[in-house]
Structure 1
Amino acid sequence: MDFTFKEEQRQFADALRRWVDKDYSFEARNKIIHSEAGVSDAAWATLAELGMTALPVPEAQGGFNGSAVDMLVVMQELGRGLVVEPYLATVLGAEFLRLGGGHDALLQQVAAGELKLACALGEKQARHDLFDIRTRATPTGEGYLLDGAKSVVLHGAQAGALIVSARSGGEQRDSAGISLFVVPADSAGVGVRDYRTIDGQRAASITFTQVRLPAASLLGAAGAGWDILDAAADYGATLLCAEAVGAMDAIFAATLEYLKTRTQFGAPIGKFQALQHRMADMFIHLEQARSMAMLAAGKVGSSDAEERRRTVSAAKVRVGQAAKFVGQQAVQLHGGIGVTNELPAAHHFKRLTMIELTLGDSDHHLERFIAQPGFKQTA
């Protein structure tokens, strides 16, 4: 696999980094986090102007038809800059629309930056099993009635439309019988409770009470949504791996700079061999995570679903392990200030912790990897 980024990809990354450095500083981000909205309309407009909202959308719907590798360079910069805008939620929703088909007008709005999406997939009893669904979609003569609840919907309150998984058949934990719907956020019967997560992002608990949906709101075929849900979740996990690499890049650089400037016993602490060894270990974990994130980006679009699942789960496990190690070492090497909100490194570690828990933690993906056909356990 060629790990060399194309010129266009480097230009995207450079444009994002310049914007973050100039207009999305750590201080500016803190103001956004503590604002009533928790996000910035101006920042979103800039992301759209830079072409970021159009990047993953097919050309036929006004986008650039960007690959997962194109998205990797973008997500790395967003992770490095601790950007809290609803970009991940929107591009993941766009992937659902792309895979399901039939909603071109919505994809056009996403590409233009006119529509934000959120994916209401998880439920409180399911933990990381997205097929564990109690939310019901009952067919009616004109469409469906939606009833249920979704938990920790990333940027659910900021979205104009929701991608919702619901059970139209089968038992609670069956992969068959799952249907996907596009639900306008302002539909009658939709209840949203917005809150801030530990990493400064926004999430929501969303309830659906007798929400009437037309037949056109169905995404893909009725009862056959699992393949789309599984593939889109892998796409989202791949983007999270890339974002985590960006965050680890930033926390590693900050720690290295601190070791160069913090003095003890008349010398920079970076001169102490024991701390140099710890930085070397951090670097190894970071580069292994980077390699796995790149591999996942290259394989997530594979037509071989088993290969996709194996690769994405392996990446999520390795990136999760690296994020924990790099984050903990960074905090310890900074000393007491490593856990203060005044230091960007603390916020990077919080974001890394949330990435680990989103769309399946390391334990979940390790079990998933082992469960794939072809895995042979040796004594």
Structure 2
Amino acid sequence: MRFTEEQQAFATAVRDFCDAECATLAQRDALTDGGRLANSPQILAKLADLGWLGVSIPEEYGGAGAGMVEECLFLEATSRGLAPITAYSTGLTAAQTYLRYGTEQQKKEILGGLCRGRLEAIALSEPGAGSDLGSVRIKAVADGDSFVVNGQKTWTSAAHVADHLLLLTRTETGPKKHEGLTLLIVPTDAPGLEIRGIETMEARTVNDLFFTDVRVPAANVVGEAGQAWRHLMRGLSVERLIIAAMSLGAAQRSLDDVLGYVKEREQFGRTIGSFQAIRHRIADLATEIAYCRSFVYDVAERIDAGEEEQLAREGSMAKLKCTEVAKHTALEAMQMMGGYGYAREYGMEGQVRKALAPPIYGGTNEIQREIISKSLGL
């Protein structure tokens, strides 16, 4: 697609911000306690002051009232710029469900907070229910004007830094596993809720959640009780586009960094970028990224035009392709950088670590292939 002058200026401004605030390893370490944190309140606050958080959220809820094209430009640029705002995308995914099914009060509180730099989380997976979300077992039992929640969630991104959880619970048991599911808003400081971090190869991002008689007001139901599966579907489709845009930015960052390296690194009396084996690998990566960029913004443009009938399939296609390209680009870049690719100073090892998770979360890429194949009548 062809971006407008305003969209181009916006993307440039976000890139310039990242270059000024978090371009160097020293800057990022200062913002993230030496790389141990995935999110920087300082950066989130600055982005909120600029009016860039929630750029696609309607103005009446604190956003800029732009579209998914602008949101993808922001996500791509901040991912490329290594801005430590990982949890923002989780809140943006939750926002899709609140926008369509939340009450006015819920929208003002949750969406308004997101635009001001507050964070939100979504609690879906359980120890026995990952890709098969219809098998969730956590129970929310009606008790007067409240629900009492007991059970466990796992792999919950951003729960430790979020204000609320958008919690998928089972309120009824029926013949069909996707029926009887309800979405509840649970404050993360609710009595009876324990949030325990899961150690991974990255900064703390995911958590186990334990619910022991957690009382949630019935007013915190999002949408209609028992209809959570239907309420989640659009949000999950948009989530895949969100992940695709972030992976696009990550792939571009890996390419930028390895390109700078091969132009300067000399062996056998010349730069290694002058060897055909390297040049052709770089050319292949650049081509893949260019195709990903065209597709991501084509899907975003269709969403903004109200053409959502193909969103499930094309969102899955975008997520599948962009996450695989980001992983491939980071691994190829590490190989071309040799030993320096493993050194934290050069940053590529961090790019590799970050590129390994997106093909798994937001619906594994195997699940995306299933969605795509079913949409083709298979």
TM-score relative to the length of structure 2 = 0.91
Alpha-carbon shift at residue 202 of structure 1 (Å): 2.1
Aligned residues of 1:292 and 1:318 also touching (Cα < 8 A): no
Aligned residues of 2:43 and 2:84 also touching (Cα < 8 A): no
CA distance in 2, matches of 1:108, 1:277: 46
Amino acid at match of 1:247: A
Aligned residues of 1:301 and 1:308 also touching (Cα < 8 A): no
Alpha-carbon shift at residue 320 of structure 1 (Å): 2.6
Equivalent residue of 2:6, what SS? helix
Ranges in structure 2 where 5+ consecutive residues have no aligned partner: none
Tell me what 1:77 maps to: 77
1:89 aligned to 2:110? no
CA distance in 2, matches of 1:346, 1:5: 33
Alpha-carbon shift at residue 282 of structure 1 (Å): 1.0
Aligned residues of 1:260 and 1:268 also touching (Cα < 8 A): yes
Over 3 Å counting, the alpha-carbon distance change for 1:317 and 1:302 in structure 2 is farther
Over 3 Å counting, the alpha-carbon distance change for 1:114 and 1:32 in structure 2 is closer
1:184 aligned to 2:155? no
Equivalent residue of 1:150, what SS? strand
Tell me what 1:311 maps to: 314
Alpha-carbon shift at residue 111 of structure 1 (Å): 5.0
Residues 118-156 of structure 1: per-residue CA shift (max 9 Å, x gap): 111122222333333111111122121111211121111
Matches for 1:144-293 after TM superposition, within 5 Å = 144-170=147-173, 174-195=177-198, 197-200=200-203, 202-293=205-296
Equivalent residue of 1:242, what SS? helix
Aligned residues of 2:140 and 2:169 also touching (Cα < 8 A): yes
Matches for 1:38-117 after TM superposition, within 5 Å = 39-85=39-85, 86-102=87-103, 103-107=106-110, 109-110=112-113, 112-113=115-116, 115-117=118-120
Alpha-carbon shift at residue 346 of structure 1 (Å): 2.1
Residues 269-318 of structure 1: per-residue CA shift (max 9 Å, x gap): 11111111111111122122222322332345686765111111111221
Over 3 Å counting, the alpha-carbon distance change for 1:270 and 1:321 in structure 2 is same
Q: Which runs of 4+ in 1 moved over 6 A?
A: 301-305
Amino acid at match of 2:26: E
CA distance in 2, matches of 1:70, 1:114: 18
How many aligned positions are there? 373
Residues 6-53 of structure 1: per-residue CA shift (max 9 Å, x gap): 233223322222221112233222233336765322111101112122
Aligned residues of 1:192 and 1:206 also touching (Cα < 8 A): yes
Equivalent residue of 2:45, what SS? helix
1:28 aligned to 2:31? no
CA distance in 1, matches of 2:370, 2:209: 29
1:138 aligned to 2:141? yes
Aligned residues of 1:57 and 1:111 also touching (Cα < 8 A): no
Tell me which of 6, 10, 16 is aligned to 1:18. 16
CA distance in 2, matches of 1:142, 1:285: 53
Equivalent residue of 1:355, what SS? coil
Larger deviation, residues 81-90 vs 68-77:
81-90
Aligned residues of 1:94 and 1:110 also touching (Cα < 8 A): no
Over 3 Å counting, the alpha-carbon distance change for 1:31 and 1:260 in structure 2 is same
Matches for 1:364-375 after TM superposition, within 5 Å = 364-372=367-375, 375=376
Residues 95-119 of structure 1: per-residue CA shift (max 9 Å, x gap): 2211222013314532551632111
Over 3 Å counting, the alpha-carbon distance change for 1:210 and 1:324 in structure 2 is same
Aligned residues of 2:95 and 2:111 also touching (Cα < 8 A): no
CA distance in 2, matches of 1:28, 1:182: 35
Aligned residues of 2:155 and 2:207 also touching (Cα < 8 A): yes
Aligned residues of 1:55 and 1:111 also touching (Cα < 8 A): no
Amino acid at match of 2:139: R
Matches for 1:272-351 after TM superposition, within 5 Å = 272-300=275-303, 307-351=310-354
CA distance in 1, matches of 2:200, 2:75: 19
CA distance in 2, matches of 1:37, 1:346: 17
Over 3 Å counting, the alpha-carbon distance change for 1:172 and 1:339 in structure 2 is farther
Equivalent residue of 2:122, what SS? strand
Over 3 Å counting, the alpha-carbon distance change for 1:297 and 1:187 in structure 2 is same
CA distance in 2, matches of 1:317, 1:302: 23
Equivalent residue of 2:329, what SS? helix
Percent of matched pairs sharing the same residue: 27
CA distance in 2, matches of 1:243, 1:328: 17
CA distance in 2, matches of 1:39, 1:172: 42
TM-score relative to the length of structure 1 = 0.91
Aligned residues of 1:120 and 1:163 also touching (Cα < 8 A): yes
RMSD: 2.2
Amino acid at match of 1:90: G
